[in-house]
């Protein structure tokens, strides 16, 4: 008699969300802090990966996490995605709070591990990283390119909406392409970072923003509300629009009530 695969429990899904968000934050923020300008005392920066490397790091972590844990939890790793999927009718609203809590815990663990590594780093590394905002999101004086609050708001709404639109398209069980969905999602996140790192260090993910702001100091904490509110606005807006335009009432297959990255195995 062939073995049957049981549906994952709620606890298993939440662990998967926490692990995926941990990977996203540890990989992306860690690259920004450890590798973007390495070595720090070199004006020529011969080894540092720069903006492009950080963008790729965020994209690659999503690809890896989606393949590893997407078939378990859906691979959201982001409160804005969870709420966007709920608005699109792809995820149960009642499960959103637990997912978001798991994501916030996973993200905070990611930056905490970075801090632990920094404790054993070169003298002054951790203090310098924290004085520099710990790769937190910001606007005005805390924007890499000096962009103001309005630019951050527009970028976060539009880019998060684009991200959710892509996710909803590529994970559709009828129209989507299962094996390539994580690649499309990861490449989209890479593109988003290439566009917006100079604007506000790129959020599109409240869990990532909160995780960095915890160690980023008073300025990061005072501005983090922008990167909580407006990615969520963008995600929900995309979910509502996508549902109205592409998935009219009655068009969703029965198994689309819980959106997940299709199992590519």
pLDDT of 9 > 50? The answer is: yes
Q: How many CB atoms lie within 10 A of CB 113?
A: 14
Residue 2: inside a domain = no
Residue 3: inside a domain = no
State the pLDDT confidence band at 175, using cuts at 50, 70 and 90.
Answer: confident
Which residue range forms the structural domain that includes residue 173? 10-257
Residue 234: inside a domain = yes
pLDDT at 254: 43
Give the residue from 149, 238, 130 showing the smallest Cα distance to 200.
149
* The residue to which tokens 């000096």 are assigned: 146
Q: Taking all residues of the chain, what is their mean pLDDT, rounded to a whole number?
A: 91
Residue 264: inside a domain = no
pLDDT of 181 > 90? The answer is: yes
pLDDT of 178 > 80? The answer is: no
Q: Are 65 and 24 in contact (CB under 8 A)?
A: yes
The burial of 116, by beta-carbon neighbours within 10 Å (0-12 exposed, 13-18 middle, 19 or more buried), is given as exposed
State the pLDDT confidence band at 4, using cuts at 50, 70 and 90.
Answer: low
Structure tokens at 43: 């004006």
Helix (H, G, I), strand (E, B) or coil at 70: helix
State the pLDDT confidence band at 31, using cuts at 50, 70 and 90.
Answer: very high
Residue 263: inside a domain = no
> pLDDT digit string (tens) for 85-119?
999 999 999 999 999 999 999 999 999 999 999 99
Residue 104: inside a domain = yes
Residue 215: inside a domain = yes
Mean per-residue pLDDT for 166-183?
Answer: 87
Mean per-residue pLDDT for 5-24?
Answer: 94
DSSP, residue by residue, 213-259: HTTT-HHHHHHTTHHHHHHHHHHHHHHHHHHHHHS-TT-S-GGGGS-
Q: How many domains does the chain have?
A: 1
pLDDT at 255: 45
Q: Are 202 and 193 in contact (CB under 8 A)?
A: yes
Query: CA–CA separation, 230 vs 175, rounded Å?
Result: 29
Q: List phi, psi (to 5°) of 155.
A: -60, -45
> pLDDT digit string (tens) for 193-252?
999 999 999 999 999 999 999 999 999 999 999 999 999 999 999 999 999 998 866 555
pLDDT at 177: 78
Q: Would you say the pTM of this structure is higher than 0.85?
A: yes
State the pLDDT confidence band at 67, using cuts at 50, 70 and 90.
Answer: very high
Residue 4: inside a domain = no
Q: In CATH, what number is assigned to the domain containing residue 243?
A: 1.20.1080.10
């Amino acid at each position: 008699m062939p073995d049957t695969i049981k549906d994952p429990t709620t606890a298993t899904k939440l662990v998967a969300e926490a692990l995926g968000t941990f990977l996203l934050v540890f990989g992306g923020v860690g690259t920004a802090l450890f590798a973007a300008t390495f070595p720090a005392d070199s004006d020529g920066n011969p080894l540092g990966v720069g903006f492009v490397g950080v963008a790729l790091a965020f994209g690659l972590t999503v690809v890896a996490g989606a393949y590893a844990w997407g078939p378990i939890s859906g691979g959201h790793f982001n409160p804005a995605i969870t709420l966007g999927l709920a608005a699109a009718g792809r995820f149960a609203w009642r499960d959103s709070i637990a997912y978001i809590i798991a994501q916030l815990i996973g993200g905070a663990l990611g930056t905490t591990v970075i801090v632990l590594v920094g404790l054993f780093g070169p003298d002054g590394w951790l203090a310098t990283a924290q004085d520099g905002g710990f790769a937190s999101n910001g606007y005005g004086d805390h924007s890499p390119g000096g962009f103001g609050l309005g630019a951050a708001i527009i970028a976060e709404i539009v880019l998060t909406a684009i991200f959710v639109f892509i996710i909803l398209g590529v994970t559709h069980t009828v129209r989507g392409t299962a094996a390539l969905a994580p690649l499309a999602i990861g490449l989209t996140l890479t593109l988003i970072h290439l566009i917006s790192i100079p604007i506000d260090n790129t959020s599109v993910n409240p869990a990532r923003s909160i995780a960095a702001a915890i160690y980023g100091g008073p300025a990061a904490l005072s501005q983090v509300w922008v990167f909580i509110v407006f990615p969520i606005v963008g995600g929900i807006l995309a979910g509502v629009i996508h549902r109205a335009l592409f998935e009219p009432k009655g068009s969703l297959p029965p198994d689309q009530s819980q959106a997940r990255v299709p199992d590519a195995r």
